[in-house]
A and B are shown apart, each in its own frame.
Chain A
Amino acid sequence: MPDWTPPTSVNLVDLGFMDSRSKLIDLAAFLDRVQKAGQDGDFRVQALKNALTLLSQDKPQRAKDVLLSFSDPSTEPIAKATMQGAIGAHKA
Chain B
Amino acid sequence: MNYIEPHGHMVSRTTDCYERMALAGCQAICEPAFWAGFDRASADGFHDYFRQITEYEPKRAAKFGIKHFCWLCINPKEAEDLKLAEDVIALIPQFIDKPGVLGIGEIGLNKNSRNELAIFERHLQVAQDYDQLVLIHTPHLEDKLKGTHLIVQALKNFSKIKPERVIIDHVEEHTIDHVLDHGFWAGITLYPESKCTPHRAIDMLEHRHAERIWMNSACDWGVSDPLAVPKTMQAMRIRGWTPEMIQRVAWDNPRAFMGQCPKFSI
Contacts and interface: CB of A to CB of B under 8 A. Distances in A.
Interface of A: 1-2, 4-10, 12, 15-16, 61, 63-64, 67-68, 70-75, 77-90
Nearest to B235: A15
Interface of B: 35, 77, 80, 110-117, 139-146, 149-150, 172-174, 199-200, 203, 206, 209-211, 236, 238-242, 244-245, 248, 252, 256
A62 B239 CA distance: 20
Name A's interface SS: loop
Contacts of A80: 80, 113-115
A7 B116 CA distance: 41
Name B's interface SS: helix
Given A71-B174, A90-B142, A7 B149 contact: no
A80 to B, nearest CB: 6
Nearest to A6: B206
A84 B140 CA distance: 10
A16 B174 CA distance: 22
14 contacts: A7-B206, A7-B239, A7-B240, A7-B242, A9-B240, A64-B174, A67-B173, A75-B150, A77-B150, A78-B112, A80-B113, A84-B111, A86-B139, A86-B143
